[in-house]
Amino acid sequence: MPRRMIPRNIELYRDHSESYETVDVEGRPHVICPQCLTPVLLCQSLSDRQRRKAARLRETDSVAAMNYLKKAVPCGERAAKAVVLHLRKKDEGCHYCGHPMPRGALLCANCMSVNLDWN
């Protein structure tokens, strides 16, 4: 069991109502990040090429990455920001705690953050 998934956090995770007040997922596939409780769109409509482009933009300019996602997905400002925040940098660990993660893994085993591996 990851150390942060303590009973209090499990309890918190059960109530998603406030999460949906911050980001409108418009009924699309998403995951609530257990670490920050933000809904993160899985952006299934994007091609691999579009995902790599978003990941590359995020390395240097997260505002540019957000603007790209807003048009490409398309989605609103907050949904795009949530995606950009959870993008994992190439050859680096978890975006939140830096814990090493295998390619393609969605949840960090150490802090339970959602990670999008789009490189």
Positions in the binding site for Zn ion (CB under 5 A)? 33, 35-36, 94, 96-97, 99, 108, 110-111, 113
Q: Extract the tokens encoding 54.
A: 């978003």
DSSP β-bridge partners for residue 32: 39
CA distance to 1, 21, 28, 94, 107, per residue, from 40 (Å)? 23, 13, 10, 15, 12
CB of 110 to Zn ion, least distance (A): 5
User: Is the Cβ of residue 74 or residue 98 nearer to Zn ion in the bound state?
Assistant: 98
User: Is the Cβ of residue 64 or residue 107 nearer to Zn ion in the bound state?
Assistant: 107
CB of 33 to Zn ion, least distance (A): 3
The percent of the chain in helix, strand and coil, each rounded to the nearest 5, is: 40, 10, 55
User: Is the Cβ of residue 94 or residue 116 nearer to Zn ion in the bound state?
Assistant: 94
CB of 94 to Zn ion, least distance (A): 3
